[in-house]
Structure 1
Amino acid sequence: MSPPRPSLALSGAFSEDHAKAYDTQFSALSGIQACMHLLTDAYLSPLPEEARILVAGAGTGAEVRYLAPRHPGWRFTLVDPSGPMLAIARRHAEAEGFADRCSFHEAYVSETPVEAHDGATSLLVSHFLTDAAARQAYFADIAARLKPGARFINVDLSTDDNAPSFAGVMGLWMDIFRLGGQTEENRANYLNAYGKQFAAHGPEQVAQMIEAGGFTPPAPVFQAALIRGWTATRA
């Protein structure tokens, strides 16, 4: 039986217009992105000099642009169902001189060849999968394309919306968006979508899904307001 398809049509959601604006629309979060990339580099850096890295939900290729010049022997498999987003990633790779170390797949991870990678990243991707079975299947699809012991870092929007602290954390998140120039209407739309169109699972649920997908119990290694990160290895 094929795994459930994502509950959000990602390839349609990330259209050409959205792709063009993607790298700038959340500029207020650039400091958080820098920390995510630093953690990713630190966690994956013990991998071999000629490691293969699976980049699930590669988008415009931000983490590859960070990692490629630091690890000149690494090769990257960029996977994203959005053609416009992946096209931007390819243009960045060509302009910055590492396209020959990349393969590009306009697809879901489940649709890519089952090839052994030494490490994988999934940064701000799986929170779009609001169906629990589909999300766990996504992690399993990543695990199936990794060597035993391969390193995996996952970062997503996730919080316990039943916790007393939720209002304060979300308030801080909205303040970050406000400082970044997001309008009151945009912030209201985000609040209405949170927990419905994305980020429908709490941190404990996400960790359980990662483990059930074929990884060691994930270690919580990062939090910045609503963004949380975990590291694990292929079981």
Structure 2
Amino acid sequence: MLPFSDPEAVAHYVDGPVRQVPGFYGLQQMTRLLLAERIQDDAHVLVLGAGGGLELKAFAETEAGWRFCGVDPSVEMLGLAKRTLGPLASRVDFYEGTIDSAPFGPFDGATCLLTLHFLAENERRRTLSEVHRRLKLGAPFVVAHHSFPQDVEEKAKWLARYAAFAVASGVPIANAERAIAAISERLPTLSPEQDEALLREAGFADVALFYTAFTFRGWVAYKA
């Protein structure tokens, strides 16, 4: 998981996802609804990759009884999350680190949005297993991140579409080109088939795709 520790990057983080992730606010709303299908009004939810606080705020504003455990490796991003949440931060226990820093719960549900694409396959597999370990039986887990075909030609096509969306949303062309170069060269992205297989290997059942947006995919799965 890459730490977002550059002060300038952290300061402008909140403006980024909506311009780079198609349907960003819809993704948050769908995630909340998928959790709410299975968990109670007083649920305790694990949010992995909670830095920035955007999904925490979306969940907390609508679900007044939920409590949260927010985990992120960047202390700067956790600070931003606290500022983003304001008074709602009182309902969140923050932990600096990876999944290993999270309490064992067990939690009623969990999310990991726009985070797992930073992890190499083996670490991603281990992280998913550790999330599974911290959930109650039948608990929902919602995950979304970059996941697209890894064939050279297909990869280039989908990254170009990602860049086109970012430019259409106001990102300077040079920045979008740097972003797809970084994704292509440095992010250990997997295909959707590989991502689904890892969820099943970690012990999750009923894995279902609910979100597809250019290079991004999102799934809901349940602890078996």
TM over 0.5: yes
Match of 1:210 among 199, 213, 216: 199
- Does the 8 A contact of 1:15 with 1:82 survive in 2? no
Cα-to-partner distance string for 1:83-137 (whole Å, 9 max, x where unaligned):
01101111222x2x322211000111112221210000000000001x2111101
Match of 2:146 among 152, 157, 162: 157
Match of 1:32 among 15, 23, 46: 23
What is the one-letter code of the residue matched to 2:204? F
Partner in structure 1 of residue 13 of structure 2: 22
Q: CA deviation at 1:227?
A: 0.8
Partner in structure 2 of residue 51 of structure 1: 43
CA distance in 1, matches of 2:130, 2:69: 14
Q: CA deviation at 1:168?
A: 4.0
CA distance in 2, matches of 1:187, 1:19: 18
Partner in structure 2 of residue 113 of structure 1: 103
State the Cα RMSD in Å. 1.9
Q: Cα distance 1:196–1:110, how it changes in 2: closer, same or farther (>3 A)?
A: farther
Q: Secondary structure at the match of 2:203?
A: coil
Spell out the pairing of 1:173-192 with structure 2 (5 A cutoff).
Answer: 173-192=162-181
Match of 2:72 among 80, 86, 102: 80
Partner in structure 2 of residue 232 of structure 1: 221
- Does the 8 A contact of 2:22 with 2:214 survive in 1? no
More displaced stretch, 82-91 vs 191-200: 191-200
CA distance in 2, matches of 1:109, 1:155: 16
CA distance in 1, matches of 2:202, 2:175: 34
Q: Secondary structure at the match of 2:138?
A: strand
The percent of aligned pairs where both chains have the same amino acid is 28
What is the one-letter code of the residue matched to 1:28? R
What is the one-letter code of the residue matched to 1:116? P
CA distance in 2, matches of 1:157, 1:14: 21
Q: Secondary structure at the match of 2:137?
A: strand
Partner in structure 1 of residue 131 of structure 2: 142
Q: CA deviation at 1:233?
A: 0.5
- Does the 8 A contact of 1:51 with 1:73 survive in 2? yes
CA distance in 1, matches of 2:74, 2:212: 27
CA distance in 1, matches of 2:65, 2:137: 21
CA distance in 2, matches of 1:123, 1:142: 13
Structure 2 unmatched ranges of 5 or more: none
Q: CA deviation at 1:188?
A: 2.5
Q: CA deviation at 1:215?
A: 1.0
Partner in structure 2 of residue 122 of structure 1: 112
CA distance in 2, matches of 1:101, 1:152: 20
More displaced stretch, 157-166 vs 72-81: 157-166
Tell me the matched-pair count.
223
Q: CA deviation at 1:29?
A: 4.0
TM-score w.r.t. structure 1 length? 0.88
- Does the 8 A contact of 2:52 with 2:80 survive in 1? yes
CA distance in 2, matches of 1:30, 1:170: 12
Match of 2:210 among 211, 215, 221: 221
